[in-house]
Structures are given as C-alpha cells and as structure tokens.
Structure 1
Amino acid sequence: MGIDISMYAEVRRQEGWQLAEPLARNPYRYDEDEPEWIPTALYSSRSYELFAVLANIRNPIRAMAPFEYLSEPRGLPADASPQLLDYYRTVESDSFSESWLLLEELTAFDWYGKEIIRRGVVNPVASHLFPPGRRGFPYADWPGGIQISVSEQGRGAEVQWIDTYAEAVGDEFMIDGLNRLKSYGTPKDVRVVFWFDC
C-alpha cells in the first residue's frame, strides 16, 4: 500500500488566506456523506522523492543517502482557508503529516544545484546504461521492449546515477506545479498546504 499526497494552493488576500482555485466537483463522491465540492488539487501524483524533499516522508527513497528536506511537517496552518479546513475534516482520519510551505521557501530551495546519488534495481538488460558517474536517468536510451522500471530492491541489477533534486522530483511539480504557484501572486503571499494519506 502506497502513500499519496493531497496538495492545495492558497493565496493571501485582504480577508486572509483563500484557495487559489475555485472548488471542483468531487469525482469520488459515492454517497451523500462525502462532499459534493472539493478544493482543486495543485499536484496529485505519487513522487516519493517530492515527499522526501517537502517533509522528510519516505526519506531516503531510491538514494544512497537521505534527501535534504525543506521542513519537518508543521501541521495545518491555523489561518488556513475555511473551505480547505472544511474539506480536511472529511479526510482527517486517513491523513497524516500535515504541513505547508510558502512559495518563497520553495523557490529559494536549490532544486537544480543540489545533487543526490540515486540507486535502484533495474532489468539487467539495461544495466549497461549506468556507467560510474552516470548523470541523469537514461530514459531516452532505454532498450526497446523493456519496461522502464526502478525498484528499491528485488531481482535485477543494482545501479547508481546522479540526479539533481529537480530531476529526482520530476517536471510535474518542478515545472507545472511551481509555474502555477507563481501565477497566483508574490512568493510570500502564496503557499501550498498538504498532507499525506495511505
């Protein structure tokens, strides 16, 4: 069973922190006890590397040492938007390690300068793609007909490579997520509020 993240953007306005995006219809509403409208997620993929960097969750993950992280979980902000708090109360029993980070903190972090030695187990047919000092994961060079898969343990060839933190976390957050956050306002007036669930 894996861990997922629920992440939402808030913007500070004169009346306080508010959701950055309008509520969306709940696609998982199967009975009337569940909310019809929920906050729009900023990010909803499962990147354990991102979880490690944001809040020291699942750290280390596919790496020789733990990732440096932005903050231990801080709890929900006391001034979170009412709509977000209302929604959180409906999922609270399945949630843990609640936290928040300002866009200012996210953009000050050296995602592209920090590097980490990654490790994993791959199909032996692809192990030649990982010579000592390999920089970046060899997606473009992967042998045809072989599934791209990296596990922490199991059968196969153990390999290492070097990633920047940005490469490890992935473009969905580094490009799509951060660009959306930047579009909402100044870095000190935009934040992400998030929690984990399994």
Structure 2
Amino acid sequence: MGCDIHAYVETRTNGTWAYAGDNTFPDNEFPKEKQCPFDGARDYGLFGFLADVRNYSESPVIAEPRGLPADVSAEVRAKSDDWNVDGHSHTWLTLAELLAFDYDQTFADQRGEGEPQVKTVRRFLHDWYFGRLDLLAKLGAPDDVRIVFWFDN
C-alpha cells in the first residue's frame, strides 16, 4: 500500500495562523497541489526528508514529527480530524526552517541498486523541491508561512 502526504499552507497575520485556502496556488497542474505545492506528490525521498516517513534512502531529516501545532487553524484541524486514525506523523515546518536547512550537506543514499551513492541533499531533492519553496515564499515572510502536514497509508 502506498503512502501519501496531506499538506496545507497556513500564514500568520497579527500573531494568528490562518489556513491559506484550497486554491492558494491556482496555477498548479494537479487539484491537490492547489492547496499546497507538496501535496499530491508521492515522493518517499521527500517524505523521509520532511518527517522521516518511509525514509528508505536514510536521508537527513529536517525535523521529526511534532504533531499538529497548538495554534493550528480550525480548517486544518478539521481536515486532520477527518482522517482520524488513518492519518499519521502529523507535523509542521515554517518556511524559515525550510530555507535555513543546509542542503549542501552530503549523505549516502541507501535506496537504489548497488552501492549507496553519496550526494548532497540539494541533489537528492531536485530542482522541483526548490521551486516549491519559491512558491511558498510568495505568501509572506518566512517566519509567517508554514506547512502543516501528515501522511496516510
């Protein structure tokens, strides 16, 4: 059975986090990606990096799952509640955290055939990922933009 990510963008204004909406990124090709540019991608390398979920490559992990933020918006909490026990590894990351990570560090990618390949996290995540960060950066200051996400399988 496959594993999918369910990701939502929140922005902070005057100290309060709010769901950015189901159509935050209207130009994205896939319907799920209109709410968050990471949603809709079944990329276990990305999942491993973001939350140590299906981390077959044994990549560095930006942060272990933290649960939903205490100040999560009502809309995103309701979306999480809809998943009930079928959702797991709930967590969140600010754009500031995503931008501050050292993507030039290397690791031995364990996934693939033959000997593990040493590569940078930047190469591992590809240009696609960094384009997604650029989309998020259009929504506000890095400390005021976050993705809240969880997984199913």
Check conservation: 2:59, 2:109, Cα contact below 8 A: no
Equivalent residue in structure 2 for 1:161, among 113, 117, 122: 117
* Unpaired runs of at least 5, structure 1: 25-38, 122-157
**C-alpha distance after superposition, 1:100-127 (max 9, x if no partner):** 011111100011x112222412xxxxxx
Q: Which amino acid aligns with 1:115?
A: T
* 1:1-198 equivalences in 2 (<5 Å): 1-14=1-14, 16-20=16-20, 22-23=21-22, 40-43=35-38, 44-59=40-55, 61-62=56-57, 66-111=58-103, 113-119=104-110, 120-121=112-113, 158-175=114-131, 177-198=132-153
**1:95: how far off?**
0.4
Any gaps of 5 or more consecutive residues in structure 2?
24-33
The amino acid across from 1:13 in the alignment is T
Partner amino acid for 2:119? D
SS of the residue corresponding to residue 83 of structure 2 reads helix
Equivalent residues of 2:96, 2:143 under 8 A apart: yes
Task: Tell me the distance in 2 between the aligned counterparts of 1:8 and 1:166.
Answer: 23
Q: How far, CA to CA, are the matches of 1:109 and 1:93 in structure 2?
A: 31
3-state secondary structure, aligned to 2:36: coil
Higher radius of gyration, 1 or 2 = 1
**1 CA distance for matches of 2:82 and 2:35?**
15
Quick check: 1:74–1:99 contact (8 Å CA) kept in 2? Answer: yes
Q: Is the 8 A contact 1:117 1:163 kept in 2?
A: yes
Q: If the length of structure 2 is used for normalisation, what is the TM-score?
A: 0.82
Q: Which amino acid aligns with 1:83?
A: E
> Residue in 2 aligned with 1:146?
none
Q: State the 1:159 CA deviation.
A: 4.7
CA contact 1:103–1:188 (8 Å) conserved in 2: yes
The alignment's C-alpha RMSD in Å is 1.9
Aligned length: 141
Report SS of the residue matched to 2:138: helix
Q: Secondary structure at the match of 2:54?
A: coil
TM-score of the aligned structures, taking structure 1 as reference length = 0.65
